[in-house]
A and B are shown apart, each in its own frame.
Chain A
Amino acid sequence: MIALSQKQRRVFSQIALTAAAWSVAFIIFFPILWMVLTSFKTELEAFATPPSLFFSPTLENYQEVFGRSDYMHYAWNSVVISMGATLLGMLLAVPAAYAMAFYETKRTQSTLLWMLSTKMLPPVGVLVPIYLLFKESGLLDTRTGLILIYTLINLPIMVWMIYTYFKEIPKDILEACRMDGATLGQEISRVLLPMCKGGLASTVLLSLILCWNEAFWSLNLTAANAAPLTALIASYSSPEGLFWAKLSAVSTLACAPILIFGWISQKQLVRGLSFGAVK
């Protein structure tokens, strides 16, 4: 048996660790990688057995997806709904988080926890009334309707996330600001918001991600008019639509922006996803 020096052992374990980590990452990432690869294949190659690894990439799927006007329609719905719900959510969440973080009262904590508990309402519990209310008020299959719903379901997360960012701002700085003669508006706009822009940006990103990917209300409350990309992709599930390459192309397009948002804000998202319990 060959005795290994401590240094050699360290090198080996480093190599083993690196190999293991990369293999795990590859396995977990593989479905996404395969989806992207498939999107550059022809339909025939996409369906081939054994799977074709070496193929000449084609853009025809993407051309076709863009060529069909309905893709842009769904994508635009996704953009409008996500942005609308995020904007509305921020307008509600920032003032609430500000008040809770800096004017804490005895009730603040129970209010925060109550907000959190609304997040736990399973959507099916209110599916029927919401569906009927939407039908009555003409909100069914409208972007406004989904914006309202998404704002409500993400509001607790946004309040929590912004609250934890605000909480990290030393009170001294706001007091200094008050001593300097800033009004409430100036205090928020010139000191607080600039200091938290990183946190606010990641809150916006998290909201966009959650809205973009939401697939319960979008499937149940929309049809042709206001359906976002989640619903478009669900329509590929019909057994007769075995267009894997096109499915992959649409999926890649639908997921790419959100993947990038997620990568950018991964560190800050932890806080929002865990309601501030993990930082």
Chain B
Amino acid sequence: MAELKINALRKSYGDIEILKGIDLHIRDHEFVVFVGPSGCGKSTLLRSIAGLEEVTSGQIVLGGRDITGLKPAERDLAMVFQSYALYPHMNVRKNMSFALELAGVDKATIEAKVKDAARILELTHLLDRKPKDLSGGQRQRVAIGRAIVRHPQVFLFDEPLSNLDAALRVQMRLELARLHHELNATMIYVTHDQVEAMTLADRVVVMNQGRIEQVGTPLELYHHPVNQFVAGFIGTPKMAFIPARVIGGQGHELTIQLPSGEHLTLPRSPDSIHVGAEVTLGIRPEHMRIVSPENANLTGQLDVTEHLGSDTYCHVNIDGGHTLTVRQGGDYEGRFGEIVGVDFDLSRAHLFDSEGNALDSVTRQAA
């Protein structure tokens, strides 16, 4: 059972607290991604699990065994490093077998395990090469192979794709997802790239400033971010935030006023909010539409339009100095400087209170 429980984990260097009390439960066979901006503590958390960082307080329990004080090698974990950390003086075979050799595994077993890992990762023809003679993607695979041969309870990945070019990254992402299914192992993966997080994870852990902001499946995070940070971090282009003020509400409707004066009525209960409260309206690019200015929720001036083929991102400057990014169809043609209207799908809009916490989301009520 590779179930990992982290209880009240803290880590500080001198006066600076990097991890401010982390509680997390990672289930067996789960692919969990830690995501967050740089400096949020995600790597430190991963390295604490690996045993490469000594924690200040708290507990790490793997499969019922308290591993908090154990050496890295005694934890039954394997790690794939951002830089791959291959041994430059050893060939691929040796790189993969090194850990087994140190553990005193007999030669035949090592041979079999290395062969097996090489087959899975399509490295068989490269076994006698040195790392310097491999491409970036191949090195990456060797690093993974080095982890696989040990059959660890948990695989740890520290931003493993960040040194690859864009095309290779997409390919390796797929391979990692496939590998997860093939090995059916528990995997913990750290990245700052929310696309990687969304595509790979069973569950995503969003971290910020040493704390966990939210844990959930990719769609949960997308649809029900618990606060403005998560809402802004997940999804590209980013969710737009417009400050607003509550001016009234009755029944299942709530009316807010935007800085530019427009009134919007959201289909949601005004119970927990009082009139006059400062809130933030959050709306994703895909939940806005460019329309003719007459009947629109808002009007603004079209700035740059970016054509991606499948979609078009329209940047619209609205009153109050805000810019909205609207996702339009691939065929949309806009004129720079044109006055356009923007319509909101208000049933998908999010509201955050002045502290940034989500006010019971409308969609959640609808669901």
Contact = CB atoms under 8 A, between A and B. Distances in A.
A190 B94 CA distance: 12
A173 B78 CA distance: 13
A180 B102 contact: yes
A181 B89 contact: no
Interface string B74-106: 100111011111111100000000110011000
Given A175-B81, A178-B72, A186 B52 contact: no
A195 B77 CA distance: 25
- Which secondary structure characterizes the binding site on chain A? helix
Of the listed residues A176, A182, A191, A195, the one surrounded by the most CB atoms of chain B closer than 10 A to its CB is: A176
Contacts of A123: none
Nearest to A170: B83
Contacts of A177: 87, 98
B71 interface: yes
A172 B88 contact: no
B176 interface: no
A4 interface: no
Contact of B81 (A172, A191, A194): A172
Interface string B102-116: 110000000000000
Contacts of B206: none
Interface in B47-92: 50-52, 71-74, 77-79, 81-89
Contacts of A194: 89
A182 B50 CA distance: 15
Contact of B72 (A173, A179, A191): A179
A172 B82 contact: yes
B182 to A, nearest CB: 22
A186 B72 CA distance: 15
Given A179-B50, A181-B99, A170 B85 contact: yes
A175 B73 CA distance: 10
A179 B83 contact: no
B102 A172 contact: no
Interface residues of A, number: 16
A178 B99 contact: no
- Which secondary structure characterizes the binding site on chain B? loop
Nearest to B52: A175
B102 A179 contact: no
A170 B158 CA distance: 15
Interface in A172-203: 172-173, 175-182, 186, 190-191, 194-195
Interface string A141-177: 0000000000000000000000000000010110111
Contacts of B102: 180-182, 186
A191 B71 CA distance: 19
B187 to A, nearest CB: 15
Contacts of B87: 173, 176-177, 191, 195
Contacts of B88: 173, 195
Contacts of B86: 173, 176
Given A178-B52, A181-B99, A182-B102, A173 B71 contact: no
Contacts of B81: 172, 175-176
A172 B103 CA distance: 20
Of the listed residues B77, B89, B103, the one surrounded by the most CB atoms of chain A closer than 10 A to its CB is: B89
A184 to B, nearest CB: 11
B158 to A, nearest CB: 9
Contact of A173 (B50, B73, B82, B85): B85
A178 B73 contact: yes
Nearest to B81: A172
10 contacts: A172-B82, A175-B50, A175-B79, A176-B86, A176-B146, A178-B52, A179-B50, A179-B51, A180-B102, A194-B89
Given A172-B81, A191-B89, 13 more contacts: A172-B82, A172-B83, A173-B86, A175-B52, A175-B72, A176-B85, A176-B86, A177-B87, A179-B52, A179-B72, A180-B99, A181-B103, A191-B87
